[in-house]
Amino acid sequence: MEAFAREHGAAPRWLVRSPGRVNLIGEHTDYSGGFVLPMAIDRSVWLALSPCAGRNVRVRSLDAAGGAITIPLDASPRKAPGWAAYVAGAAWALRERGLPLRVWSGAIASDVPIGAGLASSAALAVALVSAFAIASGLDLSATECALAAWSAETEATGVRCGVMDPLIASCGIPGHALLIDCRSLATEAVPIPSDCAILLLDTGARRKLAATEYNARRAQCERVSSLLGVAALRDVALDDLERFRDRLGPTLFRRARHVVSENARVLEAERRLRCGDVAALGGLVDESHASLRDDFEVSSAELDAMVRSVRAEASCYGARMMGAGFGGTVVALAAAGGARAMGERALLRYASESSLTPALYEVRPAAGAETIAVTSSAGD
């Protein structure tokens, strides 16, 4: 808001807040039409904006080097450099839906760590779609906003990511995780017990090869569904998979076993969470990590080391790598009292064996994206 006021000599008309996310369980299941159990967190991308004259959107990011970028409404996301591709992508996604757009001028700041697996880019995409929506007088539901942000990010990055991240950034509910059926997009709010702390332990290792490996894993899942004659791995049970073991070969079998078993773990996790059984939830979270490490092979030495370090603490219920993998952050569930001190001990243990600089965040389940009117226009 201050950066905006400095540059424009006036307060912004609107302020958009769009949160990052933690995924409690359900990793690499969304693009197979499966189940996930994420929550929006109390760290967000903030976008202050006002309508402006001319034909270009003008926006500055306080977190990126360089000045404001200027993007025409019909810019191609594939040609725009760096984070400008997200601005062009958001305009493109709404244009593709036949929606008329107006230009705006804004400033962005974020406290969602970038590249740590907390879906900072989905939060940015949802913020930008929300900005276009309010500036253009569009009435988008939270799900419509998420779907447009999803198209924007896919088009901007070329990564065939799933729908989980924009959906939770858009639809999050304070105090709750959301069970999302990524095929029907139905969501159910599941309360997080107040005695359960959620810690994020950033390994300090940034994701390498994530885009290529991500698309490769997705292609392997699609290959298995086509061999099994189903629409997606969501439609497969472990017994079906066993029958096809020889035909699939060891790698495809293990990839599919992760997805099928993870879907079952998500549904069990929802049941456990509803009973407040955080210890049982923790056990499922541990199993998820082992499956991502051994069957889906998207963990890394740093993620495994961080999981081991935090699991050495008696008050930790369970821990696992989170997001696409290959680096980034571990999510750990812990008893609320003394959770931060416990996380700090785990970080010290990890740091004593690594040259990287880890970081610790304690997060709370927060609301999805919102747009706040800051000032009113003369016409209101």
Q: Min. distance of Cβ 331 from ligand GLA in angstroms?
A: 12
CB 119 within 8 A of CB 132: no
Name the segment binding ligand GLA (CB under 6 A); options: 4-12, 58-66, 83-91, 156-164: 156-164
Q: Which residue in the shown chain puts its C-beta closest to ligand GLA?
A: 162
CB 146 within 8 A of CB 182: no
Nearest in space to 198 (alpha carbons), one of 172, 177, 178 = 177
Q: Min. distance of Cβ 323 from ligand GLA in angstroms?
A: 4
Q: Min. distance of Cβ 142 from ligand GLA in angstroms?
A: 17
Examine residue 221 and tell whether it contacts ligand GLA (CB under 6 A). no
Q: Which is nearer to ligand GLA, 115 or 174 (CB)?
A: 115
CA distances, 163 to each of 189, 273, 317, 322 (Å): 17, 23, 28, 16
Among 45, 73, 90, 161, indicate the residue that binds ligand GLA (CB under 6 A): 161
Q: Compute the Cα dihedral for 60, 63, 66, 70 and give only its sign.
A: negative
- Pairing mode, strands 56-61 and 104-110: parallel
Give, as ranges, the residues between 4 and 43 that touch ligand GLA (CB under 6 A).
27-28, 30-31
Examine residue 164 and tell whether it contacts ligand GLA (CB under 6 A). yes
Sequence-ordered strand ranges (E) for 24-80: 35-36, 38-51, 56-61, 69-72
Q: Min. distance of Cβ 264 from ligand GLA in angstroms?
A: 16
**27: Cβ contacts below 8 Å, ≥ 6 apart:** 36, 262, 288, 292, 296, 298, 320, 321, 322, 323, 325
The region, left, alpha or beta by phi > 0 then psi within -120 to 50, assigned to residue 325 is left
Examine residue 202 and tell whether it contacts ligand GLA (CB under 6 A). no
CA distances, 267 to each of 45, 99, 104, 178, 284 (Å): 30, 37, 43, 12, 10
Give, as ranges, the residues between 275 and 314 that touch ligand GLA (CB under 6 A).
none
Among 155, 165, 287, 313, indicate the residue that binds ligand GLA (CB under 6 A): 165
What one-letter code names the amino acid at 348?
L
Count of residues that interact with ligand GLA, criterion CB under 6 A? 11
Quote the longest CA-to-CA distance of the chain.
70
Distance CA 107, CA 49 (A): 7
Q: Which is nearer to ligand GLA, 29 or 309 (CB)?
A: 29
Catalytic residue from among 165, 202, 286, 295: 165
Q: Min. distance of Cβ 30 from ligand GLA in angstroms?
A: 5
Active site residue 165: yes
Binding mask 90-119 for ligand GLA (x = CB under 6 A): -----------------------------x
- Catalytically active residues, by annotation: 165
The residues of the shown chain that bind ligand GLA, judged by CB under 6 A, are 27-28, 30-31, 119, 161-162, 164-165, 323-324
